[in-house]
Amino acid sequence: MPCYNSTNTLEDVVSQIEDVMCQKLSQYEYEIILVNDCSPNGTTYPKICEIATGNTHVKGINLARNFGQPSAVMAALNHAKGDYVVCGDDDGQTPFSELPRLFEKIDEGYDAVEARFIEHEKRSWFRKFGTFMNESMQSWLIDKPKGVVLTTFWLVKRFVVDEMCKYPNSHPYLGGLILRSTRNVCNVDVKKNERLRGKSGYNLKKMVELFLNGFTTFSAKPLRVTMFLGLFVGFMGLICGIVTIVRKLIDPAISAGYSSMMAVILILFGILFVMLGIFGEYIGQTYIALNQAPQYVIRDKINFEEEVDGEKKA
């Protein structure tokens, strides 16, 4: 579970998880990994340590700086030991009480189960638009199975986690990593809880960054689109040029049309800069990968055992 400014909600969320694990999934041993994504309030990781000190099921990771929610999840995945791994949010909206229903689908043979929220909290128009764009991008670029919705509450098998952890680059796209590992994915409809306190940490900037990351990470289709768009615009420009020449030959008095020429120039330059922007995103991703920018950097950990000279050290 990635944690960001969640000092006031963590105890309640951990209690919800422990209740469902003890009462409905008591056949499983479990661990709860809380990753503080360098929360600016300065109290989130101390709260994690406080909870972990009195509960051996809870483990804490403190990142050295804010790497973003996907990287925080990757930090937890790289430390998780279970045969099954669940990801959820720290704001209390994730209905962990529905975990048994997700496990039922795993027992049916699915490799990954995504919760699909049947009710949403009131969201601003740009968040709704961002969700729509993200869903459309997932379907087109990463060949998401028809009808499957990707959310922040999911359950996957061990081999899927192992494959996800093989991804070494910064800016991971979790939905793409899951679907790159398996297409045997299904949804379970659940009702999202009310947010316990505070408001969402996702603003317009973070939504755009998430979209661009998914847009350019796992597919070369945008590059192909720009190629076909360039060919189409070039062909239309050729047709327009031929038509203009023929009309001028038929009627020399026809004006060349300054405004029409400027409109065409602006359209072509707009398309050109869009293409350059897409190329720039790909080049930037490649540069960051070659520069070996880290997915995450861990400053502190609690309740983890480490190997030191062949011996385990708490």
Q: From CA 248, how far away is CA 174, in angstroms rounded?
A: 57
**Count of CB atoms within 10 A of residue 300's CB?**
13
Name every residue whose Cβ is closer than 8 Å to that of residue 298 and which is 6 or more positions away in sequence.
61, 62, 63, 64, 75
Give pLDDT tens digits for 273-287. 777 777 777 776 676
Higher pLDDT, residue 138 or 4: 4
pLDDT, residue 107, reads 95
Mean pLDDT value of segment 155-164? 97
Query: What proportion of the chain, given as a percentage, has pLDDT over 70?
Result: 70
Task: Tell me if 32 sits within 8 A of 11, measured CB to CB.
Answer: no
Asked if residue 125 has pLDDT above 50, the reply is yes
Asked if residue 256 has pLDDT above 70, the reply is no
**Position 277: which residue type?**
G
Asked if residue 238 has pLDDT above 80, the reply is no
pLDDT, residue 12, reads 94
Query: What proportion of the chain, given as a percentage, has pLDDT over 90?
Result: 46
159 pLDDT band, cuts 50/70/90, is very high
Mean of per-residue pLDDT scores for the chain: 81
Give pLDDT tens digits for 79-111. 999 999 999 999 899 999 999 999 999 999 999
pLDDT, residue 312, reads 44
Entry field: residues in the chain: 314
pLDDT, residue 262, reads 61
Mean pLDDT value of segment 161-175? 90
What is the pairing mode between strands 32-36 and 298-302? unpaired
pLDDT, residue 243, reads 73
Q: Which of 22-26, 105-109, 147-151, 205-209 has the lowest mean pLDDT?
A: 205-209
313 pLDDT band, cuts 50/70/90, is very low
**Count of CB atoms within 10 A of residue 68's CB?**
21
